[in-house]
Amino acid sequence: MKTNAELKTDVTRELARDIAIDETAIGVSAHHGVVTLSGIVGSWAEKHAAEEAAHRVAGVLDVANEIEIKPSWSATRSDADIAEAVRGALIWNRFVPDQQIRSTVADRGTVTLTGTVQTLSQRDEAERVVRDLAGVRYVSNQITVEGPLVAEGALHEA
């Protein structure tokens, strides 16, 4: 098992390697495999990227993501503007069945996605295109995956 100092150093290096993250804005502490991330970033996408980067490090068991999101004054958008941007992003992404997905934007940038899609990749792609939009502070992905129907007799014992 890595020491706390080694874990902190490895996570800091991983944050620096990720181009989606400004590692200078993020503080890292480690204690017995639990890494705490702190600081202030400009988007939910960057907060999410930092969390994923920390989980990529060998020896990290859990991550406490205490990073705050405070977009710059120029990036502040109303919930109505964000809702329109969400719809546009879903429509323009050819891998997302936009007519099957609904969104709700509240609390200055919290987006909730609902609906039903056929594959997990469609669900994940919908979240990805939304979380990268300016002004989005958090995405709650409640989209249900309803896989294709399998005909009776199509399954057999291995």
The Cα–Cα gap between 77 and 137 comes to 11
57-104: per-residue pLDDT in tens?
999 999 999 999 887 655 578 899 999 999 999 999 999 999 999 999
Q: Domains along the chain?
A: 4-69 (3.30.1340.30), 74-145 (3.30.1340)
Q: Is 103 left (phi over 0), alpha (psi -120 to 50) or beta?
A: beta
Quote the pTM value. 0.62
**Longest alpha-carbon distance in the chain:** 60
d(CA 134, CA 48): 14
Q: What CA–CA distance (Å, rounded) separates 40 from 25?
A: 6
- Tens digits of per-residue pLDDT, 102-150? 999 999 889 999 999 999 999 999 999 998 888 888 999 999 999 777 7
* CA separation for the pair 134, 74 (Å, rounded): 10
* Nearest CA among 145, 134, 69, 60 for reference residue 100: 145
Q: What is the pLDDT of residues 32-43, one digit of tens each?
A: 999 999 999 988
CA 63 to the chain's CA centroid: 14
